[in-house]
Every structure is written in C-alpha cells, then in structure tokens.
Chains A and B, each alone.
Chain A
Amino acid sequence: MKDNLPDKDGFFGEYGGKFVPETLMYALNELEQTYKTLKDNNDFNAEFHKDLAEFVGRPSPLYFAKRLTEHYNTASIWLKREDLNHTGAHKINNTVGQILLAKYMGKKRIIAETGAGQHGVATATVAARLGLDCHIYMGSEDVRRQSLNVYRMKLLGAEVHEVNSGSATLKDALNEALRDWVTNIEDTYYIIGSVTGPHPYPMIVRDFNAVVGYELIDQSQESFGRMPDSIIACVGGGSNAMGIFYPFIKMDNVELIGVEAAGKGIETGEHAAPLNDGTPGVLHGAKSYLMQDESGQVKGTASISAGLDYPGVGPEHSWLKDIKRAKYVAVSDDEVMKAFHMVNKMEGILPALETAHAFAYLDELMPKMNEDQHIVINVSGRGDKDLNSVVEIEDIKL
C-alpha cells in the first residue's frame, strides 16, 4: 500500500487537491515549499518537540480504563489522554507546529477558524506566546454554545469575529477565514485546524498530530507488549483520528475506526456524517466526501457537538474509507449523551462531546471483542467547554 501520500499535487487517490481561487495559490505554494524544506530540518524538529514536551506536556499518557473494561468485560480498554494536553485537546499539537512554520516564514498576522472553540483557543495560545496578531473566525451559533471558549480566546488577546453567513457554524467560519486570507495574503498565516482544506494543509495537520500515533506505538508495546487490535477516534474534519491512525495505516492487523456524528439519526438526514451518508464533492479547497444535495449545494448539518458539526471531512479519511483501510461508523446524539455520563461516572474523566462519540461506539464494538484483545480510544479533548451545552440539553437548573 502507498504510504507516501499525498502525491505531488496533494491527492490521496482521487481526494484532496487544491481547489482554490487563484489568489491563494501563491500562499499555498509558499507554504508547501517551506514545509518541504523544514520538515526534515533538525533545528525545526528539535524546536517542535521541545515545545510539545515543555509547553504542551507531551507525551500524553496511555491510561488503562479499568472500570470501563470491567463493565464491558471483553477486551481491555485503553485511553490515549489528549485531554490532558495544555489547552485541553489534541488541537494544540497542530497549532504548536504551524505557528513555528509561520515564524520561519516571517508572518506577523495569524488567522484561524474554529467550531467548538478548541482550535481557536489553541491558536490564540500559540499566537500569544509569540506576540502575534491573532484573528479567530467562529460561527455565531457556535459563539453562543461555546461562550466559555470565546472568552478564553479573548483573554489570550485574540480578536473573535462572529460569522453570521450561511448556517453560522464551522463551515461558514472556514469560508470567512479563507476570505480574510485572500485579502491579506502576504502578511497572514492561516492555521487550519483540521486535516481539511487545500493541499498542503491535510498533510501538515496530519503530520503534526501524528505524534499521538507514534507515542501510542511505544506505549502499547510498554503497556501490553504489542500493537492494539482496534483504535477508535471521533471524526469531524478528522484531525485527531488522522493523527492517531496515520502511523498504523501500514499495520494491517490494527483496525482503525472513525466515529462520525449521526446527530438525530442518519435516517433523519439531520446529522454530520459525510463518510456514512455523503458523496464525493469539493468544499473548502479539497475533494472529499461531502453532505450535498442533488444540485451540488452543501447541506446543513446537525450535531450536539460543535466540533463535529461540519459537512465535509479530511480527504485522507475519504481515501481510507474507499480502500477499506479504515471503517467509519456513526453514533446519535442520544448515544453520545449516554456515553458522556458513563465516562464521567466510571472513569472520573469529563470528555468533550466530540470525544464522547468515540466512547459511544463501545456498546456496539465491545460485545464482538474478546478478553485477549486491546482497544485504544483517542480521548481527543476534555469537556469543560461543553458544560453549558449539556446543562441546556438536559434542561438542568444550576
């Protein structure tokens, strides 16, 4: 199997590419050249790994979930604790890497889009550290449901731009960030937050998050003497999943499972699961599975989780789906809330609603496993930011 993807034009099979207005080509080519030069540069890598160790707090632990394991009573369940990273999610791995690219390129202004706000916080954090001007685009619907993260970004000195166009969620924030970039192309670095967007972003974001998967190889060996049987991660754009899957793609006996947001149920059409119920199309500069209607218009999405509420998905996931190397399933909002409570009560861990999607698949997966097996869940982020939403969903008076 090819593991040197994307190809020189940025394609994973038929997916990916650079479908952007002409003005952006210059910036994408500049970024691609810079990354090509730096990715094998010792100084660059030393600086990246020093930041990951000292600022992010890596490696994140691989933790044995004893009570969850006893509850299902089949395979051992291990948790890759990305929720323990500085700023509370895997998103910081990518921003620490990309801000270094921005620094090497001499860019003074940073922009980013955010859905749940985790990527916005992670971007504002690294921009603050370097004293760079930072602008975050966020859909007004997400600003409402993730108000705590909005305040965190402001504390970090970022300007948060509320986006009211379209569905006022992540996809529209991305549109607006791209428009900002077209306008301020020469001095601005755009830190895309997922393995989406035009080439070289899906590759760069994957590579910076792949530290999660590489750590897991060593930690699995230390903890249970071999590679896991299954790795489970939630998929919105798919950066946490791509990061933990990537080093395992060549290991055919490791099952890779991505969990999408089925929202109110795949059959209702109100969901955010393009790999389960979408068709190939082009959005935000890349070809990938997409939720679209018969005229090629992008459909609205529905998910309890702002971070997964996105009609597209990273092109490499589309490729992994088509070649059947990874399996993509979907769980509903109701199943997610059940799993959210279960993880809190049984493991003392408050997962993000995005992350709770991965846990919600255990009900289906675990009865098929046996006691000698080991599965790993990528705990992509912590759920403090979601408490307002949960309180609202469950109609709780605080």
Chain B
Amino acid sequence: MKRIEKKLKELSQDNQKAFVGYIVAGDPDLKTSLELMHLSVDSGVDILEIGVPFTDPIAEGPTIQQAHDRSLENQTNLQKIVDLVGKFREKDSNTPIILMGYINNFLIYKDLINRSHDLGVDGVLVVDIPGELSLEDYGIDNQDLDVISLVSPTTSKDRVKEIVKNSTGFIYYVTLRGVTGSSNLDGNEIEQNIKYIKSISSIPVMAGFGIKNSDDAKLLSSFSDGIVIGSSIVELIYKNSENKDFHEVSDYISTMKNAIR
C-alpha cells in the first residue's frame, strides 16, 4: 500500500483527521528544514507537504512568497530537496511526503521526479497544472507517485468529476477564493462542495488555504478528512529562524492537532 493511503487509512481507523503541514524547503536553510520536518511530525503533523521554491509563485500570498525568496537565496533546487527527503527517510519511513510547487521547476527535473518515489517522495502537487490535465503529458509519469489535485470553490461540477478521476492520494480542496494565507472562509460553501466530492468519489478530501486558528481547523475538519496548514507555520518558522528555537512552531502544531481530534 502507498504511504499516503496507508497513513490516511490508519487515521480513519482511529477516527482521526489528518494534519497536512507545509514548510518551504530551504527556509531558513536545508539543514534546518530537516530538523523542522522531524519536529513537525513529532508535534502532530501526519503528512508533510514540502514547498519547492519558485521565483514566480502566483498562488502564494506574501508570507509564502517571501519564504520562497529566502530559500532561493540559498540556491535551493529540486535536486537538493529530493536529497533532503532522502535524509529525512533515514529516520522516518512512515510519514508521507508530498512535493508542492510549480510546473516550470518540475519540468526541468522531470527525470529526477520520476525516480523520486524510490528516494522517498510519495506524491506531487503541481499548483499550476489544472486537475484535468495529466502530468504524464509533460513527462512526469510514475505510477507509484500520487498526483494530488486542487479543487476550488469556482470549480464546476463537471470539472470536479474529471479532476477526481485523474487524482490519487487525496483531493486538496482550496477553501477560499484567494492566495495562500488569505482569510475569508465560508463554512457553508466549503461543506457543500466537499459533500459533492464525497458523493462522487471515495478519495479523501483535505481542506486548506486560510486556516489560521483552532476554530478554523475544527470547523473544516468536521466535514473533511483533514486540514492543510501552510502560511501560519511558515510565518512562525520565519519569526524564530534567527535563534532557531522552534518551540512556538511545535506548540502551534500540537494546538492545531488537538483541535481536529
């Protein structure tokens, strides 16, 4: 069984929701990213989403954009990120890892991406490949690698059907119209849309974008299989990267994890 499927099955058997945590690889540096990955898992993250920095991340709000810029100052690239995953796997072989980024970087490294499952990567989420397009058409083709797709409040029902058909692992439901880190969640709309996805498919659905506090987390987890949190974690990492004391990060993650129990 694939690592993502296995993890989600275990959580659901325990009647638990999944916590997907996002960090940008290489922010503040790759060595610290490795520590932060382990720290996140120890504090309650179930699935790690590793941001691949890009110069022009059009779906990101200022917090994650600036993290991408900081990471790029360290010359972070996909090769180094796959190496990072390999190092993480030396100590953790259970936590699923998804690489999230933009198609231009993935195209340059498509051979590496196709081999990356053997190196410890479980899935890819390419933000600017709309769900009904297939990554195979762009040379990214490895059956072992899950392809996570986004569905948004503006996705039509017909397109949801197509997207669900091409997705494995889980569906990432974008909870708002906006970039990462925005805040205008509409609980009713989110619930309706997630219900629709669940009515046509058994694929798990994670809700993300705009989750700031435990109330948001609790609400969204009540009608999804789990939540994704990015900007808030990235912000706390930045705030503490000078002294590299990340207990605020682990406290925040534990609080969120408790909120969705």
Contacts and interface: CB of A to CB of B under 8 A. Distances in A.
Interface in A227-242: none
Contact of A183 (B77, B102, B131, B179): B179
B200 interface: no
B56 interface: yes
Interface stretch (A20-28, A95-103, A127-135, A206-214): A20-28
A175 B109 contact: no
Interface stretch (B91-99, B146-154, B215-223, B236-244): B146-154
Contacts of A79: none
A291 B61 CA distance: 24
A284 B56 contact: yes
Given A175-B58, A178-B58, A179-B58, A22 B109 contact: no
A282 B57 CA distance: 12
Contact of B177 (A172, A186, A290): A186
A281 B174 CA distance: 26
Interface in A166-180: 166, 171-172, 175, 178-179
Interface string B185-225: 00000000000000000000000000000000000000000
B152 A23 contact: yes
A254 interface: no
Contact of A21 (B58, B75, B78): B58
B131 A281 contact: no
Contacts, number: 113
Given A22-B155, A178-B58, A165 B65 contact: yes
A295 interface: yes
A27 B108 contact: no
Contacts of B156: 26, 29
B86 interface: no
A34 interface: no
B108 A294 contact: yes
Contact of B128 (A19, A165, A179, A297): A19
A281 B56 CA distance: 12
Interface residues on A, range: 20 to 34
A156 to B, nearest CB: 27
B108 A22 contact: no
Contacts of B130: 18-20, 22, 25
A337 interface: no
B105 to A, nearest CB: 4
B69 to A, nearest CB: 8
A184 interface: yes
A296 interface: yes
A25 B182 contact: no
Contacts of B166: none
B104 A281 contact: yes
Nearest to B126: A19
Contacts of B131: 22
B59 A295 contact: no
Contacts of B62: 165
Contact of B150 (A21, A290, A295): A21
Contact of A185 (B77, B108, B151, B177): B177
Given A19-B129, A25-B159, A283 B177 contact: no
Interface in A248-299: 281-285, 290, 292, 294-298
Contact of B72 (A19, A185, A290, A297): A297
Contacts of A283: 56, 104
Nearest to B103: A282
B198 to A, nearest CB: 18
A20 B179 contact: no
Contact of B55 (A18, A166, A185, A186): A166
Contacts of A29: 156
Interface of B: 54-59, 61-62, 65, 69, 72, 75, 77-78, 102-109, 127-131, 149-156, 159, 163, 174, 177-179, 182
6 contacts: A19-B128, A27-B154, A281-B107, A284-B56, A296-B107, A298-B104
| Top 8 A-B pairs, shortest CB-CB distance | A296-B108, A26-B154, A295-B77, A22-B150, A183-B178, A23-B152, A296-B105, A21-B59
Given A166-B55, A171-B56, A175-B57, 5 more contacts: A21-B150, A23-B153, A23-B177, A283-B104, A298-B55
